[in-house]
Amino acid sequence: MSGPCSEHRHRRAFLRTTAAAGAALTAAPGWAQQPRADAMPKIVLGRTGQSVSRLGMGTSWTVQPSFVQAAIFAGVSYIDTAEGYENGNSEKTVGEVLERTGKRKDVFLVTKNSSYRKDGSPRVFADKLEASLQRLKTDYVDAYYLHGLTGEQIPMLFDDGVRQAFEALKRQKKIRFAGLSCHDARLVEVVEAAAKCGWIDQIMIQYNFRTMHADALRRAVDAASKANLGLVAMKTQGGAEAVSLDDARKARQLSGFLDKGFSAPQAAIKAVLADERFQVVVSEMTNRQHLRENMGAVIAPLTPKEARLLEEHRQRTAQLYCHGCGHLCEPAAGGSVAIAETLRYLRYHDVYGKRRRARELYAMLPPAARDFAQADLRAAEQACPHGVQLVALMDRAGRVLS
């Protein structure tokens, strides 16, 4: 699963722990309050010129219609979905709610095409959009994305056929803006290319307190901001990067903040929104507690205390998270084995519980990318700047994903 995939399970586990910790967190701002639509901050989304809520709703997990409706009535006016989420069912749910509530015009609706990865012809964008529009029960989307663009696919951004396909959809008024999402190891290059290519209006990228301070990413985001792209952050929790359940548990144990009135999920969102180049945070929320907490986060700015505790949390848990920077460890392993992607799929399997999907994605990797026997994983482990124990993790991945 790509896209704003999911801090949900991590967050749920984190919240379970925090709930057990008692009253401290219930005192955190926003937790006990009912969301009020007029409290939701709005912002202009880059060159689209559209006013949207700073909190966006991700739908890569199964979302209940009643909850989608509650989020819209609480002021969430940015909804992100994709043809691939829950095999099209997320689009269907969103479409049914928008039709029933009559709120289509009040929502900035994004969907994404991942079919282009299999069918490289520019026609795939128009063809698949029709099916998305039917599921969404609308005749246009506000933005249409290349879903999960990777570094290898950067040439598509400079391909006249692809650009013309999106421009034709704009002329036909089936889409208003073009965009892409990315959480690839070559994220920096993708962001730079999006800023340069001239026809991408907005991007949604992995951006969180673990990754946002890297110089290369900051420079790329600067370029995107100067090009006035709409900037949307996903995977803002950072904690969703724990590769295995064991690591997720260790991370929670290492986070000794639960008695300090500190909400790490809230602080993580606030940290991203403190970067004024980003307009929207898309969050995977599936219940009203998530909604209340996220609204609290977008309303109140990051405090110095939260910033300090979040940084402490980042330092204590860095080795438990794979950041997806395969360009750092994969060359040391020999260059062909896909460490970052494999660990991402292991995370889907172990932490998100998406076992079948994880195996499917893993099976789609080229054989050489799965040939661990030929790889020097020990050298790769030494090359990992975050101290991830990838030898053991890859061993597990080979067993559970094959």
Q: Enumerate binding residues for ligand SF4 (CB under 6 A).
A: 322-326, 328-329, 339-340, 343, 384, 386, 388, 390
Shortest Cβ 110–ligand SF4 spacing (Å)? 27
Shortest Cβ 175–ligand SF4 spacing (Å)? 33
Q: Are 19 and 13 in contact (CB under 8 A)?
A: no
When the beta carbons of 83 and 184 are compared against ligand SF4, the nearer one is 184
Shortest Cβ 214–ligand SF4 spacing (Å)? 12
Q: How far lies 27's CA from each of 18, 82, 119, 300, 381, in Å?
A: 12, 36, 51, 14, 42
Shortest Cβ 319–ligand SF4 spacing (Å)? 9
Q: Are 45 and 75 in contact (CB under 8 A)?
A: no
What is the identity of the amino acid at 216? A
CA distance 338 to 322: 13
Shortest Cβ 367–ligand SF4 spacing (Å)? 20
When the beta carbons of 210 and 292 are compared against ligand SF4, the nearer one is 210
> What tokens does 364 get?
């789609």
Closest alpha carbon to 309 in 375, 272, 262, 370: 262
When the beta carbons of 67 and 348 are compared against ligand SF4, the nearer one is 348
CA distance 41 to 259: 29
When the beta carbons of 31 and 372 are compared against ligand SF4, the nearer one is 372
Closest alpha carbon to 90 in 135, 133, 129: 135
When the beta carbons of 39 and 328 are compared against ligand SF4, the nearer one is 328
Shortest Cβ 324–ligand SF4 spacing (Å)? 6
Provide the residue count of the chain: 402
When the beta carbons of 309 and 322 are compared against ligand SF4, the nearer one is 322
Q: How many other CB atoms sit within 10 Å of the CB of residue 76?
A: 26
